[in-house]
A and B are shown apart, each in its own frame.
Chain A
Amino acid sequence: MNVFIVENSISLRDRLSLILSGLAGVRVVGHAGTAVEAVQKIGETAPDVVILDIRLDEGTGYDVLEKIKVPNQPPVVVVLTNYPYPQYRAKYMQAGADFFFDKSTELDSALDVLKGLGEKGPPDGLS
């Protein structure tokens, strides 16, 4: 299962990459710190899952979400953010995000989702 990480903080990105790589069947195929870079690389790598932060160095997670949630096998989007307010959740879920977790307190929930995805196979069975 290929995972792409969109996260502007390098230290967090590295840690997240390390943690995800430790999961069975998970391969981190790339990462990006800005919206533009993220959209481009996601296009190239066609990951199964995208871990998406809201606040980026340039642009927001929303900009990325709008571009990547297109028909024909869109990736599963897991929003992982330090802005875990219902207003953000509503907006991202409406725009096509699949999961929405608090980066600080719900990492375990996010990992559980990824584990589940790995076991269940292709993501389109979800949603």
Chain B
Amino acid sequence: MKLDRRLLYTLSILGVAALYLAAAKLGLSLAFLNRSATAVWPPTGIALAAVLVLGYRVWPGIVIGAFLANVTTSGSVPVSMAITVGNTLEAIFGAWLVRRFANGRHAFERPSDVFKFALLAGGVGTLVSPTIGVTSLALSGLASWADYGVVWLTWWLGDAMGALVVTPTVILWANQPVLSLRGRRVLEAVLALATAILIAFIVFSGVLPASLKGLPIQFVLFPVLVWVAFRFGQREVATVVLLVSLFAVAGTVNGYGPFILPSENSSLLLVQTYMGVLGLTGLGVAAVVSERRIISDALRRSRDELEQRVQERTRSLSSAVEELGTQVAERKRTADALQRSERRIREIIEAMPVAVYVCDAEGLITSFNPSAAQLWGREPKLLDTQERYSGSFKIHYPDGREMPHSESPMAQVLRTGVPQRNQEILIERPDASRATALVNALPLTNEEGDLVGAINCLIDITERKESEEALRRESELNETMVKAQDSLGEGVGIVEGDHLVFANDALCKIYGYSRAELLALPSYMDLIPSDQRPPLLDRHARRFRGEIPSDAGEATIIRKDGRRIAIEYAVKILDPHDPVRLFTIVRDVTARRKEREALQASEVKFRGLLESAPDAMVIVDGEGMIVFANSQTEKLFGYERDELHGQSVEMLIPERFREQHLVDRIGYFLEPEVRAMGAGLELAGLRRDRSEFPVDISLSPLKTPGGILVTATIRDITERKRAELELQTSNSRLRELTSRLQEVREEERARIARELHDELGQALTALKFDLSTLTAGLPESDAVSQTRARTMAEQIDVTVQAVRRIGSELRPGMLDDLGLAAAIEWQAQEFAARTGIDCRVTLPARHVDLDREKATAVFRVFQETLTNVARHSNATSVLVCLEAVGNDLRLEVRDNGRGFENAGEQAKHSLGLLGMKERAEILHGSFDVSSVIGQGTTVRMILPL
């Protein structure tokens, strides 16, 4: 049976293909503008009719026919394929339109359907093929783009005419293939047909004398058509229109008829219009007539029935006599009907989505439908003794245990004859997939009531089971969630209208009511402070209209005890079709809000503090990203704050320092402490304009819940640096000046000392020599002169001593002649002699080579120190030590005097000490004083050699 159907299908496809090809060849013989775009295209009609009559599955026939037709025309395979696609789609699309809107293959039974058919199949459906076809022709170069419009129009009209003229004829003949005319009606039909053909011939064949040419006798065909419509029907009208069209087209193509225009194509377009009008008129009228006929038939039938009933009453007696006779005939009819109904049932079963199979009394499978094969995942052999009761690979109880086939519901029915209803079983397919099915097995009995088999309907409920399972799991989940929310303190409630219909424990706790009180509230708006109700009411109204499926926010509510608390809520409509049922989750956020406000306040303070800081402050997170920068930072670096936030802090540092900074930064985060950055290093900042400036940075860690942040306080020290440098320069100039002054003074002193010594000293010595000579010449007796001379000599000696002392004090010649050690020793002796203070000197063992400037400095410091000792210390002894240690020359003077407090401070303020310090520092040496009350004072000077 299946093989038959397949064969039939194949044949129908081949038939359609052949018809299509033939019609195409006929049509193409009329092509002028382009070989592929013909003015009349009957295949469109064939294709559309084929789909409408045989169904969409005949499309391969159209494809084959169209492709053959096109490829033999254009010769280009790609273009032919494109056009084929167009042709096929057109037929399918047209058929769909007609089926959807114009009653399908019964489109010609009602005038309105006729016109819809003309519009949809003729006008709209046929847009597909020309558009695809002409485009592919143009693309391949088989037609020029310039002609696109004309070719398209020709194509479309050709297709439209095919659909309008050919399709109705084919469909109508297919609907009603048998011509059942008798007697005079045959004669009339022949006459009508002949008349039509004759007129068509006369109009379109050129047999008309020249004088009559130009007369519009083509209109004579209309009455003929109306005749056919009234006397016969749509089928006949369609046929006549088709015939006349053939004449019209053929005639016009050959240059005859009233539609001849200079261009053949234009002529054909004109003919087409004529044909269209002809077809539409004929079919329209025929439909009207047919409709009217049907109505009048119905009226006549009901009248006849009435009459018949009266007659029947009168005949009933006599009919009873005939009954026996008719019963025989009746039974036969019933048998036929039974057969028909059986066939129909079988067809229904075949098509049913429910698995159905039948077993005979032995349990052998006698038939099954495709749904059963699908459910089983296999097709059992019929009447196979190996397969009793079921075609399943395996079956199981719902709990998973395997069920022998002999225990199956089918087997039980066959054993007991009792129907089995809605038994749930699991079916396992050969590929191990499973399906859940409800089994409904019914016994089949013959007329005598003997069990002859059973029929089994299996409903596949796998999907339902799965969704039930999913639903169950979801509701379990929901329950768990509500419980979880309860324990989290999250209130869960369901609101219907303005009533709470469900509240969990947590919700009751939040509102401070018992559940009973809460659910009994007239409106839960009572929980809202009255001043906040209006906006909420409005929101509710919108929710109930379904405008807000879900939302969330914060609100204030009044507890039963009158306390106002802040809540956070989320509301969701449970069912979009019932938007007055709301699911709501409520959380008490009073504590959190307070916390947040406190936090915000402290943050505001903190920010204010940072903003008011006189220095730039940058807060950096563990990743080195800037999380905050104050306005001073903007000023200092020239960036807007937004440009800094979220950026790496290294952007503020000159590139050459960045790598090191990264390392240091990571190190700092590992061991954060308050400290200055880069102690002792020169730090620099980088402005937006790439300029650099010196900075001082101090760091302090800031512990936050989000981790440690570091606050860097940055100060521009350009000014300070400059001042420092200036001070340094000025200091060194002062020092130079001081040094120079001292040098000059020393020189001056040395010069005066020399002159005193040499000039004055020599002169006095000369005087002394002369006096000595004079004295030697004095007579011993002249005692007066002798005494005077002695006095003079003594006077000169005193003067010489004075001159020497003054000179030495100015600058001891010894310093230049004998060096520092000798000068120190001499000075110490001089000091001891003059003051009576014991002064011991330790000198270096070896000779120390020292330049004049340094020797002078040490000597002068020594002198001044001794002066200080004499003036202030009350010391009785002084220890002097001059030594060379390594590359240093050290002088230490230690007295045993009373000492003084705060030697370090004094050294800064006493001009004398400052001067000594200065001397040492000019020569890159050092000077310091230490003193302990009651234990004396020590002065140390160190100079590099």
Q: Is the CB of B818 within 8 A of A88?
A: yes
A87-B758 Cα distance, complex, nearest whole Å: 19
**Within 8 Å of chain A (Cβ to Cβ): is B826?**
yes
A82 CB–B CB distance under 8 Å: yes
A12, A19, A86, A108: the one contacting B765 at CB < 8 Å is A12
By the criterion of a CB under 8 Å from any partner CB, how many residues of chain A are at the interface? 23
Q: Which residue of A lies closest to B754 (CB)?
A: A55
Chain A 102-127, CB-CB to B under 8 Å as 1, else 0, gives 01110110000000000000000000
B773 partner, pick from A19, A88, A104, beta carbons under 8 A: A19
Taking CB atoms, residues of chain B closer than 8 Å to A105 are 768, 797, 800
Q: From DSSP, what is the main secondary structure of chain B's interface residues?
A: helix
Cα-based distance from A83 to B818 in the complex (angstroms): 12
Task: Give the residue of B761, B769, B797, B818 whose beta carbon is less than 8 angstroms from that of A15.
Answer: B769
Q: Distance in Å from the Cβ of B829 to the closest Cβ of chain A? A: 7
Q: Is the CB of B800 within 8 A of A87?
A: no
0/1 interface trace, chain B 322-335, chain A, CB 8 Å (1 if under): 00000000000000
Interface mask (B815-838 → A, CB under 8 Å = 1, otherwise 0): 001100011011001000000000
Query: Do A107 and B768 contact each other (CB < 8 Å), given the known contacts A60-B817, A85-B814?
Result: yes
A82 near B770: Cβ-Cβ < 8 Å: no
Known: A82-B804, A86-B829. A15 touches B758 (CB 8 A): no
Shortest distance from the beta carbon of B276 to any chain A beta carbon, whole Å:
149
B769, B770, B800, B804: which has the most chain A beta carbons within 10 Å? B769
Query: Is B813 an interface residue when CB atoms closer than 8 A count as contact?
Result: yes
B514 proximal to A (CB < 8 A) = no
B796 near A: Cβ within 8 Å? Answer: yes
Known interface pairs A19-B773, A82-B804, A107-B768; A87-B761 also in contact (CB < 8 Å): no
Asked if A91 CB lies within 8 Å of chain B CBs, one says yes
Q: Which residues of the other chain, B, contact A107 by a CB distance below 8 angstroms?
A: 768-769, 772
Q: Are A83 and B822 in contact (CB under 8 A)?
A: no
Indicate whether A16 sits within 8 Å of B762 (C-beta atoms), given known contacts A87-B818, A105-B800: no
Cα A11 to Cα B804 with chains together (Å): 20
Rounded to whole Å, the gap between the CB of B790 and the closest CB of chain A is 12
Interchain CB contact under 8 A, A104 and B797: yes
Contact B800–A104 (Cβ < 8 Å): yes
Q: Is A104 touching B818 in the complex (CB atoms < 8 A)? A: no
B766 lies within 8 A of chain A by Cβ = yes
Name the B residues within 8 Å of A86 (CB-CB).
Answer: 826, 829
CB distance from B805 to the nearest CB of A (A): 12
Expressed in whole angstroms, the Cα–Cα distance for A31 and B123 within the complex equals 155
**Interface: A18 (CB within 8 A):** yes
Interface string of A85-98 (1 = CB under 8 A from B): 11110010000000
* CB<8 Å pairs between A and B, sample of 28: A11-B766, A12-B762, A12-B765, A12-B766, A15-B769, A15-B770, A16-B769, A19-B773, A22-B776, A54-B817, A55-B758, A55-B813, A60-B817, A82-B761, A82-B762, A86-B826, A87-B818, A87-B823, A88-B814, A88-B817, A88-B818, A91-B818, A104-B764, A104-B768, A104-B796, A105-B797, A107-B768, A108-B772
B residues with a Cβ closer than 8 A to A are 757-758, 761-762, 764-766, 768-770, 772-773, 776, 796-797, 800, 804, 813-814, 817-818, 822-823, 825-826, 829
Lowest 6 CB-CB distances: which A-B pairs, in order?
A: A15-B769, A104-B800, A87-B822, A9-B762, A82-B761, A104-B765
Which residues of A come within 8 Å of B, CB atoms?
Answer: 9, 11-12, 15-16, 18-19, 22, 54-55, 60, 82-83, 85-88, 91, 103-105, 107-108
New A-B contacts (19) at CB < 8 Å, excluding given A83-B817, A104-B761: A9-B765, A12-B762, A18-B773, A19-B769, A19-B772, A55-B757, A55-B813, A82-B765, A85-B814, A85-B826, A86-B826, A87-B814, A87-B823, A88-B818, A104-B796, A104-B797, A105-B768, A105-B797, A107-B769
